[in-house]
A and B are shown apart, each in its own frame.
Chain A
Amino acid sequence: MIVLDSIHKTYRSGATSHTAIGNVSLTVNAGEFVSIVGPSGCGKSTLLNMIAGFVAPSAGSVRVMDVAVQPGQVPKRLGYLFQKDAVLPWLTVEQNVGLGMRFAHQPAAKIREKVSALLGLANLRGYEKYFPYQLSGGMRQRTALLMTLACDPAVLLLDEPFGALDSHTKINLHRELHDIWRQLRQTIVMVTHDLDEAVALSDRVIVLSGPPSRILLDRRIDIAHPRDPYVVRETEQFGLHLRALWAVLGKEYQRIPDSAGQTLEPAA
């Protein structure tokens, strides 16, 4: 579904050059939920931006649904959720959710029907006429998720989508995302700092090293679905996976001073 083949990314500024991503190859199968974790500055978000066609790799190739990704062109049926919700502040919730369908010139009746169904799915019924500033952060992020889902994405990229939310809102959104994914079976790649979140939701967790980043660990999370994000954290398997991942990630955190990570992250 998504194939990253020997990806390199080098940034040049004057005479110095900095290799952010050193050889990353990764295949994500159809319907799989894969999380990418790693220290700041390891190019996690850059990888997502490459899959979406916003950033071109310096070397290597990206294919989505068997089509080579062209820089500057977003692959068809690809949804992308950012950490900062990207709802349009001058549109109401229902106008926002229907935006992608309006871009595709779908008939108004069809848009109305689908928007209404989606709002039900994310417990946003009753908020149709609200403007984003009237909603909580969690509700805005849910609206953004619905905007994406209205376009029937086959691939969903999530860049720390819950990073700005409090833990209670976060876990409730985990449950909603998990339910939606169970129903619609998109291929999901999520970048996160939160190891708990990665283990609770994913089929696989990839640990990246600091720059020049490569894959340190590709671990299958063999906890049976459906998972309840509240209950799964109490299971023994959850702790086992968490410890195994932390053994690698924690060592990497220690190896790289945290302040360096911030300055190394290129403005993508």
Chain B
Amino acid sequence: MTAQAMNASDAVGAASAASAIERRSRVPLYQFALLAVLLGLWEVLTRVPYLIKNTFLDPFFISRPSLIAQQLWSWTFGARAGFLLPHLMSTLAATLLGLIVATVTGFLVGLLLSQSPTMAKTLNPFIVGLNSLPRIAMVPLITMVFGLGLLAKVVTAWFVVFFLIFFNTFKGSISIEKHLLQFCQTLGATPRQLMWSVRVPSALAWTFAALPNAISFSLVAVVIAEFVGTTKGMGYLIVTALSTLNATEMFAAITVLGLSGLILVAIAERIERRLLRWSPQFNER
């Protein structure tokens, strides 16, 4: 194909991409509309006396968007300004630390085991066993061992996320195509160069692909660790709200968590897209 022909087909691609962007640009609109409808229903229905009396649509149980907004305002700029931030930061710090430690260790162990079939076979039942364990069941034990601070939360996040990263990396490294390695050998690659130029990048691609999921899992794990025992964090806010039966505080904390999750996953997807820009899955259309 000549460069001109390529450019021509690019132009066609650009035209259809433009209409796709037009269609996509309406999506946020739909999303806001849906959000507005849901919040509106929530706000209105929790004001109908009949429903309050006879159903769960009682602000005592499910609060109300306007109350939640007031609560959030009070926590950030209002009466209790500065109350929220330390809790949020504590949760986010544990989430990111757990993610980083799990990604690094999961990647290294995945790569290592993929290079040694004997070790992989030996460890297989242990890994499968640990992985099929309901990992949340370990949280009280982790808290008992590592205390009520940051460490227990990071360890919980690590424990949950590690396997995700490990399995992805391991699968990626063993599925590497043999002819790719042989071809590079004919180009004169030493075993060390094969490792750094072929095996590691090919495994990393799979590691990166697990990042958006990993970050969600990490956040979930940290909040659960905070339920079990801590004095700080968004999970702690939810548990204290439970002890005072305060649904508004609970929903305020949940809202903050939901938004944090959205933002973190969006960032992770951005990073993934950037790192895997050579992969067709991010360049379709």
Contacts and interface: CB of A to CB of B under 8 A. Distances in A.
Interface of A: 52, 54, 74, 78-80, 82, 84, 86, 88-92, 99-100, 103-104, 125-127, 131-134, 136, 138-139, 144, 147-148, 151
B179 A86 contact: yes
B198 A88 contact: yes
Contacts of A80: 182-183, 186
Contacts of A132: 278
Interface residues of B, number: 25
Contacts of A78: 186
B173 to A, nearest CB: 14
Given A100-B188, A148-B186, A89 B278 contact: yes
B213 interface: no
Given A82-B183, A144-B183, A151-B188, A103 B193 contact: yes
Q: Which of B180, B188, B280 has the most CB of A within 10 A?
A: B188
Given A126-B3, A133-B280, A133-B283, A86 B183 contact: yes
Interface in B254-285: 277-280, 283
B111 to A, nearest CB: 16
Given A52-B182, A126-B3, 7 more contacts: A52-B186, A78-B186, A80-B186, A82-B183, A99-B184, A103-B193, A144-B183
Interface string B179-199: 110111111111001000110
Contacts of B133: none
Nearest to B188: A103
B137 interface: no
Q: Which of A86, A127, A136 has the most CB of B within 10 A?
A: A86
B205 interface: yes
Given A82-B179, A86-B180, A139-B1, A103 B186 contact: no
B201 interface: yes
B280 to A, nearest CB: 4
B187 A103 contact: yes
A86 B183 CA distance: 6
B187 A88 contact: no
Contacts of A103: 184, 187-190, 193, 197
A100 B185 CA distance: 9
Contact of B1 (A52, A79, A136): A136
Contact of B197 (A84, A86, A88): A88
B196 to A, nearest CB: 10
A144 B179 CA distance: 12
A236 to B, nearest CB: 34
Contacts of A99: 184, 187, 197
B158 to A, nearest CB: 28
Given A82-B179, A84-B179, A90 B205 contact: yes
Q: Which of B177, B185, B187, B277 has the most CB of A within 10 A?
A: B187
8 contacts: A54-B182, A90-B202, A100-B188, A103-B190, A104-B188, A126-B3, A133-B280, A136-B1
Q: Which of A89, A90, A127, A139 has the most CB of B within 10 A?
A: A90
Contacts of A144: 183
Contacts of B187: 99-100, 103, 147-148, 151
A90 B182 CA distance: 17
Contacts of B182: 52, 54, 80, 82, 86
